[in-house]
Amino acid sequence: MNNQAQENKSLFDELSNAASLNVTKIYSTSFYKSVSTLDSSIQGDIHAIYGMVRFADEIVDSFHGFSKSELLAEFKADTYKAIERGISLNAVLNSFQATVRKHQIDLTLIEKFFNSMEMDLNPIEYTQELYEEYILGSAEVVGLMCLKVFVHGDEDEYQRLKPFAMKLGSAFQKINFLRDLKDDWGDLGRLYFPLVGKEGLTLENKLAIEKEIEAEFLEAYEGVLLLPKSARFGVYVAYTYYYNLLKKIKSKTVKDLMSQRVRIPNASKYMLYLKSYLKHSFNLL
């Protein structure tokens, strides 16, 4: 490749990275804020991961009136093709493939992710086994992709931090299930929790799930403290946001969760960020 060709490719890669960043910024202001607190050297790679998983998630959650199964199959095939070729004209996938190749992200993580997305195409009566399989693919492996970036290729560190990253991903996803109960159960007919019968979530179920999440948060926190400095603060910001979202969910009734999506106001998010920054700055984490 001559110098002009390299320059043109670099320009396209720059556009691709900007596309993934904008996906994060438009779809999740909270996650965008968390990523912006990571070291600048890894922000682009995390945006790239988020962009890919967000597109797949949108296919199964939002693209009503289209053949979701066809769209997802095409997107999955295009993802693997991008990784194999080292380029894609889909800017988000071009950004993602570069991150996968740069950090040697295991393709089995991507396969497990798409498996969970495929599970969302049709209503499933979730057993404990299917529930754990879905969480592994939809959340835990995404955390592991990010961990690959955080440790900069250090395999020993990756293996040491892997269990904590999986716990944190699991806790985040279960909170999402509770937060999105109105949309998932009320609109899409999805009920992920195996403890819950066809009549829907009960107070007893809710308390049991919240207890399970609390335990995962406690375990995951140990791993947050062990992260490299370049990633620790950003992950802690996300941890703090989700932990406070859990506290807000705990204050709601089942009826509340079925009628509204629980949110943390922007002013409260700012205060959480400020408190996290002060703790980080004074080594109080």
Q: What is the pLDDT of residue 224?
A: 96
Are 27 and 155 contained in the same domain?
Answer: no
Distance (Å, rounded) from C-alpha 186 to C-alpha 193?
A: 14
Residue in 184, 196, 176 with CA at minimum distance from that of residue 125: 196
98 in the same domain as 238: no
pLDDT value at position 123? 87
Residues 3 and 85 placed together within one structural domain of the fold? yes
Query: In this structure, is residue 161 part of a structural domain?
Result: yes
Residue 82 reports pLDDT greater than 60: yes
264 vs 118, which has greater pLDDT? Answer: 118
Claim to verify: residue 155 and residue 249 sit in the same structural domain: yes
pLDDT in tens, 91-108: 999 999 999 999 999 999
Question: Alpha-carbon distance 246 to 233, whole Å?
Answer: 20
In the listed set 103, 131, 161, which residue is the last one of a domain according to the structure? 103
Q: Where among 51, 79, 103 does a domain terminate? A: 103
Please report, for residues 34, 37, 132, 139, 249, the alpha-carbon distance to residue 277 in angstroms, rounded to integers and kept in the order given: 11, 9, 34, 26, 24
If one compares 104 and 264, the residue with the highest pLDDT of the two is 104
The total domain count for the chain is: 2
146 and 272 housed in the same domain: yes
Domain-located, residue 135: no
Shared-domain flag, residues 160 and 92? no
Q: Per-residue pLDDT for 282 more than 70? A: no
Decide: helix, strand or coil at residue 235.
Answer: helix
| 213 shares a domain with 97 | no
CA-CA distance, 224 to 34, in Å (whole number)? Answer: 14
pLDDT at 8: 75
Give the per-residue pLDDT at 62: 94
Burial of 20 (C-beta count, 10 Å sphere; 0-12/13-18/19+): buried
CA-based nearest residue to 228, from 283, 152, 141, 156: 152
pLDDT confidence of residue 244:
94
The whole-chain average pLDDT of the chain stands at 92
SS3 164: helix
Q: Which residues share a beta bridge with 270?
A: none
The whole model's pTM is what? 0.92
- The model's pLDDT over 111-161, given as tens digits with 9 standing for 90+, comes to 999 999 999 999 888 999 999 999 999 999 999 999 999 999 899 999 999
In a domain, 276, yes or no: yes
Residues 72 and 161 in one domain: no
pLDDT by residue (tens digit) across 177-199?
999 988 888 778 888 998 676 66
β-sheet bridge partners, residue 204: none
Same structural domain, 159 and 226: yes
Cα(6)–Cα(95) distance, integer angstroms:
16
Is there a domain that residue 119 lies in? no
Residues 262, 203: one domain?
Answer: yes
Same domain for 162 and 257:
yes
> In the prediction, which pLDDT does 6 show?
66
Residue 7's domain spans which residues? 1-103
The residue written with tokens 């320009």 in the block is 11
CATH number of the domain that residue 201 is part of:
1.10.600.10
- Tell me: the pLDDT tens digits for 55-67? 999 999 999 999 9
Q: Is residue 114 part of a domain?
A: no
CB atoms within 10 A of CB 173: 22
Q: Is the residue at 123 inside a domain?
A: no
Residue 50 near residue 24 (C-beta atoms within 8 A):
yes
Evaluate whether residue 42 is within a structural domain: yes
The answer as to whether 128 is a domain residue is no
Same domain for 177 and 49: no
pLDDT value at residue 50: 98
Question: Is a pLDDT exceeding 70 seen at residue 280?
Answer: no
